[in-house]
A and B are shown apart, each in its own frame.
Chain A
Amino acid sequence: DTEVTQTPKHLVMGMTNKKSLKCEQHMGHRAMYWYKQKAKKPPELMFVYSYEKLSINESVPSRFSPECPNSSLLNLHLHALQPEDSALYLCASSQDNTSGGYEQYFGPGTRLTVT
């Protein structure tokens, strides 16, 4: 199974809402990532979890809160977002983060619209 799944596929939320994005992989990967991607732009790294511990936070605003409940699951909790946060949110995983992360498996993404 080389699949990364993400739910929901689409999400529309108001600026006062709280919602969560979910990501799951069953490849035994020990590194998981959240990226944000705007139209016609490259993926932009937000967070990296390595062995279930947060190892990189790319100075992401606190209205985004990641969580890694176990080695297969990754969540992104959203609160008080701004319209400019509307984007495609991609989850990815790789075998680990020390030797590479050069080969990452991406989920299909959640297309988020903040109204």
Chain B
Amino acid sequence: GQSLEQPSEVTAVEGAIVQMNCTYQTSGFYGLSWYQQHDGGAPTFLSYNALDGLEETGRFSSFLSRSDSYGYLLLQELQMKDSASYFCAVRNTDKLIFGTGTRLQVFP
């Protein structure tokens, strides 16, 4: 079977740093993507890791360890607008398989 597990909810305060984890078990693996979705909105692409290591894009960083089947998304200098759901997604040959999602709530 295929599974991508994420913690269901994370809370943090403005200005803080938060890490959202993703562990996966899939029959094929080409890379790990991250998407953000605000309530009532569409998912938007944040980052992609095909190789082990850290990718940084502004306040967002994403990490992948293929040997551990594990990745995380790191958000720095949290802002209220970062409150959203965050999905990891495994690229598996010809499609994306989405994780269960983490709902991030940022408090003032």
Chain B contact-residue range equals 20 to 34
- Quote the shortest CB–CB distance from B32 to chain A (angstroms): 8
Partner of A45, one of B31, B42, B50, B95: B95
Contact between A101 and B94, CB atoms less than 8 A apart: yes
Residues on the B chain within 8 Å of A102, using CB: 30-31, 33, 48, 50, 89, 91, 96
Contact between A48 and B48, CB atoms less than 8 A apart: no
- Which single residue of chain A is at the shortest CB-CB distance from B43? A106
Residues on the B chain within 8 Å of A104, using CB: 43, 45, 96
Chain A facing B: main interface SS: loop
Using A101-B96, A104-B96 as known contacts, say yes or no to A90 and B42 having CB atoms under 8 A apart: yes
Interface residues of B (CB under 8 A from A): 30-31, 33, 41-45, 48, 50, 87, 89, 91, 94-101, 103
